[in-house]
């Protein structure tokens, strides 16, 4: 910036200042126009498509489509190639680097790259290669340029009377190999036969499989084929290779011979059929030697199993079966058992309630209370109501006679009257209650199921009142 400022100061100083300034502005305008012209006239690509095919193209043959991309300057980025899809044709796009080419058209030198598409027709008919548009960045400045090739076409003839044969554009080699394990061969050993087809100008996947026949006395186990694409080391297509293999396992001893094989194909250049003869081979299979182990395998296995052997008694099996049957029966009848348990629980509650309401239970409670340290009559009156049906002692003993009424009166007087020793009247009541209990048991009549309780029955209520009145008069 400082240098440009000094130049401008020098050109505008003195009598030549205006002339120098006008020259400088004119130079800037010329350079800008040149830049615009260069930007607008960016060089286009020159794209040419050429077919390299034999005189007659048949199904399975290989056709090369060479695509040349040229420019008058240079590439700043590799060209971008389009995807090619042709119905009825197996297309292999360019692999690896292209081939450098140069050309001169109308006195203009061009340089660029040649790419090769490999076309393998799978059906007969007219095949049309569409126009291919290629883009690339070229110098100077790296503008984007594009170019389009012209469409080309070719015709494909049917494969011929013999189908399933490879069509080799160049050299075709067919080889075979044998391997044995063990060598010499014995029963149980194997022979591996491999047939390799190596063809120039033919796709590996279009090479037909070689049929490896069965052999009596052997068991054949075919292997997966090995398919390989051959190139020139830089990614350029050369051809294909296919290897078919099979293992033959010897089942019997004797002398056997693998039959010869014939592999046929057609020359893509001449269309003439060709073939390769692969000779057979004879093998002798010896019986398998009897191998005696240094130790007895049966004894070792028996010794190992002896420590792991479990002896289950028959009785255990019977008990186990019975237990399993019981478990299954319980599981199947679980709902019934639950209802039975609920019913039993309710019945137990009813029995407990009835027992607590019985005369015997109240009698035991009164006997315990009589022997206790506290002089109370709660348990006595509860037993009295159950045993006699009366609500008080006077009404209960009224039917029992004069002696019982006097004893009851004395007990009530001592218990509720003037303070007396508790043990005296409690002993008297305890002895008398035993006698009263026997008398009440003899006098008790069975109560009908529909009868009312004594406290609600007017007959019993009238008797109780009569007894009380008689006692009062006495």
User: pLDDT of 410-469, one tens digit each?
Assistant: 778 777 776 666 567 777 887 888 888 888 887 765 555 555 555 565 555 544 444 444
Calculate the alpha carbon distances from 218 to 234, 243, 248, 253 in Å.
44, 21, 6, 10
Residue 207: how many other CB atoms lie within 10 Å: 27
Please tell me the predicted confidence (pLDDT) of residue 222: 95
**What value does the mean pLDDT take over residues 288-302?**
74
- Token pair listed for 64: 């090369």
Last residue in a domain, options 258, 285, 312? 285
Q: Is residue 111 part of a domain?
A: yes
Q: What is the pLDDT of residues 362-391, one digit of tens each?
A: 888 888 887 777 767 788 888 888 888 788
Q: Is residue 4 part of a domain?
A: no
Alpha-carbon span 370 to 440, nearest angstrom: 20
Same domain, 211 and 145: no
DSSP 419: -
What's the number of domains the chain is made of?
4
Beta-bridge mates of residue 368 = none
Same domain, 74 and 142: yes
pTM for the model stands at 0.48
Report which listed range, 13-17, 20-24, 358-362, 466-470, is most confident.
358-362
Q: Is residue 273 part of a domain?
A: yes
Q: Give the torsion through C-alpha atoms of 89, 93, 99, 103, to 10 deg.
A: 60
Q: Is residue 210 part of a domain?
A: yes
Same domain, 261 and 198: yes
Phi-psi region of 125 (alpha: psi -120 to 50; beta: other; left: phi over 0): left
Q: Is residue 413 part of a domain?
A: yes
**What value does the mean pLDDT take over residues 4-11?**
45
Please tell me the predicted confidence (pLDDT) of residue 394: 81
**What value does the mean pLDDT take over residues 240-249?**
94
Q: Is residue 435 part of a domain?
A: yes
Report which of 357, 355, 382, 354 is spatially closest to residue 368, judged by C-alpha positions.
Answer: 382
Calculate the alpha carbon distances from 305 to 131, 260, 301, 464 in Å.
79, 53, 6, 94
- For the chain, the average pLDDT equals 79
Last residue in a domain, options 135, 156, 177? 156
Q: What is the pLDDT of residues 178-222, one digit of tens each?
A: 999 988 899 999 999 999 999 888 888 888 899 999 999 999 999
Alpha-carbon span 148 to 132, nearest angstrom: 5
**DSSP letters for 163-226:** -S-EEESS-EEEEEEEEEESSS-BTT-EEEEEEEEEEETS-GGGSPPPP----TTEEEEEPPPE
Same domain, 148 and 232: no
pLDDT for residue 309 is more than 80: no
Alpha-carbon span 163 to 266, nearest angstrom: 10
116 in Cβ contact with 50 (< 8 Å): no
The better pLDDT of the pair 59, 2 is held by 59
Same domain, 363 and 351: no
Q: What is the pLDDT of residues 105-130, one digit of tens each?
A: 888 999 999 999 989 888 899 999 99
Structural domain harbouring 427 = 358-473
| Range scoring the smallest mean pLDDT among 95-104, 272-281, 400-409 | 400-409
Query: b vs e for 399-414, b when ≥16 Cβ sit within 10 Å of the residue's Cβ?
Result: bbeeebbebbebbbeb
Length of the chain: 474
Alpha-carbon span 282 to 285, nearest angstrom: 10
Same domain, 125 and 56: yes
Last residue in a domain, options 336, 355, 374? 355
**DSSP letters for 285-321:** EBPPP-PPPSS-HHHHHHHHHHHH-----HHHHHHHH
The better pLDDT of the pair 17, 106 is held by 106
Same domain, 135 and 189: no
Alpha-carbon span 224 to 176, nearest angstrom: 16
Please tell me the predicted confidence (pLDDT) of residue 34: 39
- Token pair listed for 71: 């420019």
Q: Is the torsion defined by CA of 391, 392, 394, 400 positive or negative? A: positive
Alpha-carbon span 8 to 2, nearest angstrom: 10
Same domain, 210 and 121: no
3 state SS for 128-173: EECCCEEEEEECCCCCEEEEECCCEEEEEECCCCCCCCEEECCCEE
Q: What is the pLDDT of residues 338-368, one digit of tens each?
A: 999 999 999 999 988 888 888 888 888 888 8
Residue 205 has φ and ψ, to the nearest 5°, of: -75, -10
Please tell me the predicted confidence (pLDDT) of residue 136: 92
Here the CATH number for the domain that contains residue 145 is: 2.60.40.740
Same domain, 341 and 364: no
Please tell me the predicted confidence (pLDDT) of residue 12: 45
Alpha-carbon span 8 to 257, nearest angstrom: 101
Report which of 129, 125, 32 is spatially closest to residue 86, judged by C-alpha positions.
Answer: 129
Same domain, 346 and 383: no
Beta-bridge mates of residue 191 = 180, 248
Same domain, 254 and 193: yes
In what helix (H) or strand (E) does residue 245 lie, and over which residues does it extend?
strand 237-250
The better pLDDT of the pair 1, 224 is held by 224
Q: Is residue 362 part of a domain?
A: yes
Q: Is residue 385 part of a domain?
A: yes
**What value does the mean pLDDT take over residues 221-243?**
88
Same domain, 93 and 116: yes
Residue 184 has φ and ψ, to the nearest 5°, of: -70, 160
146 in Cβ contact with 47 (< 8 Å): no
288 in Cβ contact with 188 (< 8 Å): yes
């Amino acid at each position: 910036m400082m240098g440009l400022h000094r130049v401008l100061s020098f050109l505008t100083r003195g009598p030549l200042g205006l002339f120098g300034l006008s020259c400088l502005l004119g130079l800037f305008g010329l350079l800008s126009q040149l830049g615009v012209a260069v930007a607008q006239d960016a060089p286009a690509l020159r794209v040419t498509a050429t077919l390299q095919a034999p005189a007659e193209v048949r199904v399975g043959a290989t056709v090369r489509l060479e695509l040349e991309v040229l420019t008058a300057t240079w590439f700043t980025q590799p060209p971008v190639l389009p995807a090619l899809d042709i119905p009825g044709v197996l297309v292999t796009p360019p692999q690896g680097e292209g081939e450098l080419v140069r050309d001169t058209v109308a006195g203009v030198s061009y340089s660029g790259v040649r790419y090769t598409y490999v076309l393998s027709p799978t059906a007969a008919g007219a095949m049309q290669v569409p126009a291919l548009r290629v883009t690339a960045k070229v110098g100077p400045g790296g503008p984007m340029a594009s170019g389009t090739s012209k469409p080309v076409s070719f015709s494909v003839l049917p494969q011929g009377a013999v189908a399933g044969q490879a069509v080799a554009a160049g050299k075709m080699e067919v080889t075979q190999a044998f391997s044995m394990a063990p060598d010499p061969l014995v029963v149980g050993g194997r022979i591996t036969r491999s047939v390799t087809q190596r063809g120039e100008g033919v796709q590996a996947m279009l090479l037909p499989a070689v049929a490896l026949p069965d052999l009596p006395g052997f068991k054949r186990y075919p292997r997966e084929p090995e398919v390989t694409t051959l190139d020139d080391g830089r990614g350029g297509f050369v051809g294909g290779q296919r290897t078919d293999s099979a293992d033959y396992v010897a089942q019997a001893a004797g002398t056997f011979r693998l039959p010869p094989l014939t592999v046929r194909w057609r020359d893509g250049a001449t269309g003439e059929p060709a073939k390769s003869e692969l000779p057979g081979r004879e093998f002798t299979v010896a019986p398998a030697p009897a191998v005696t182990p240094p130790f007895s395998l049966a004894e070792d296995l028996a010794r190992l199993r002896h420590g792991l052997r479990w002896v289950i008694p028959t009785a255990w099996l019977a008990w186990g079966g019975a237990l399993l049957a019981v478990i299954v029966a319980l599981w199947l009848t679980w709902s019934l058992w639950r209802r039975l348990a609920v019913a039993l629980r309710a019945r137990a509650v009813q029995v407990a309630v009835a027992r607590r309401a019985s005369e015997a239970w109240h009698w035991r409670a009164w006997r315990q209370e009589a022997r206790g340290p506290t002089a109370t009559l709660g348990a006595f009156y509860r037993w009295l109501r159950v045993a006699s049906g009366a609500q008080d002692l006077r009404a209960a003993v009224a039917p029992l006679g004069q002696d019982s009424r006097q004893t009851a009166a004395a007990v009530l007087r001592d218990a509720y009257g003037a303070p007396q020793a508790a043990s005296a009247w409690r002993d008297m009541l305890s002895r008398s209650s035993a006698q009263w209990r026997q008398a009440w048991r003899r006098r008790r009549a069975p109560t009908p199921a529909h009868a009312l309780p004594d406290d609600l029955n007017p007959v019993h209520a009238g008797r109780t009142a009569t007894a009380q009145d008689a006692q009062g008069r006495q």
